[in-house]
Amino acid sequence: RQPGSAFKPFVYYTAFATGRYGPDSTVSDSPVSYPDGYEYYSPQNYDGSFSGAISVRNALEVSRNVPAVRIGQDIGLNKVIDVCRTLGIRSPIEPVVSLPLGAVDLTPMEMAGAYATFASNGWYSDTTLIVQVTDSTGNVLLDNTPKPQLVLDPWAVASLNSVLRGVIDQGTATSARLDRPAAGKTGTTSSERDIWFVGYVPQLATAVWVGNDDYSPLGHGATGGTYVAPIWRDFMQQALRGVPAENFKPASEFDRP
């Protein structure tokens, strides 16, 4: 299903990894049109307004659409797709102008696995449902123990984590707040057919999707922040019971690309 704005972190990570953008960089939230096949595509924000010059941090915290599309065009959508592949996403992806807004069908497993790489500050492990199988005597019959590899730029990931913390602290997902540092992103598709929240703490990433099997709309006002973020929060509170709180590594610990 389409992830909507939950796709934006892949765009912003790619931008940070170029070294030309950071959380405090300024981007224009103003009307713009791009050729798209035989027509022109003019991205709109959820509320129909424009904010003018806005920081990357604020643009992602409140999920402005136009800045994400502008940045996608600036850095190149094929680079964004390359990052998605690095993060284990295997579903077909086309470099359409609206890709930064989630114009692609992805699975919750792909989204959770990709965000898990953000949670671990750039270390990727293949997603698996079964870690290990042993027989009655302890002999290992199947071993899928994760073998993490550093696949992302640490500064870019740490910068993204800082911004995505703001999504929960003062952005579109305040209903996802935990009693510990957490980061994540809401997603709401047009006509409210698919709504998401994908979030994480350093030890655990979780994707929650809500929608109808027949693709019918959920109804006006159904957003990732209002409906799905509380589900994520309730699950994480249970899953993290007894797990010590950890902080994300700050970008200041790493060299900027």
Look at residue 31 and tell me if it is in a domain.
yes
CA angle 134, 135, 138 (to 5 degrees): 70
Look at residue 93 and tell me if it is in a domain.
yes
In angstroms, the CA 59 to CA 73 distance is 16
pLDDT single digits (tens) 100-110? 999 999 999 99
Give percent of the chain above pLDDT 90. Answer: 95
Look at residue 251 and tell me if it is in a domain.
no
Arithmetic mean of pLDDT, 54-65: 98
Range of the domain at 142: 4-246
In angstroms, the CA 178 to CA 83 distance is 29
Neighbours of 217 (CB within 10 A): 14
Provide the pLDDT for residue 32.
Answer: 98
Look at residue 53 and tell me if it is in a domain.
yes
CATH for 28: 3.40.710.10
pLDDT single digits (tens) 197-238? 999 999 999 999 999 999 999 988 899 999 999 999 999 999
Look at residue 254 and tell me if it is in a domain.
no
Complete DSSP assignment for 178-226: -SS--EEEEEE-GGGSEEEEEEEETTEEEEEEEE-TT-----TT--III
Least confident of 58-72, 147-161, 217-231: 217-231
Look at residue 255 and tell me if it is in a domain.
no
Look at residue 253 and tell me if it is in a domain.
no
* pLDDT tier at 181, thresholds 50, 70, 90: very high
> Measured in Å, how far apart are the chain's first and last C-alpha atoms?
33
Domain count, the chain: 1
Look at residue 41 and tell me if it is in a domain.
yes
pTM: 0.95
Q: Which bin fits 71, alpha (ψ -120 to 50), beta or left (φ > 0)?
A: alpha
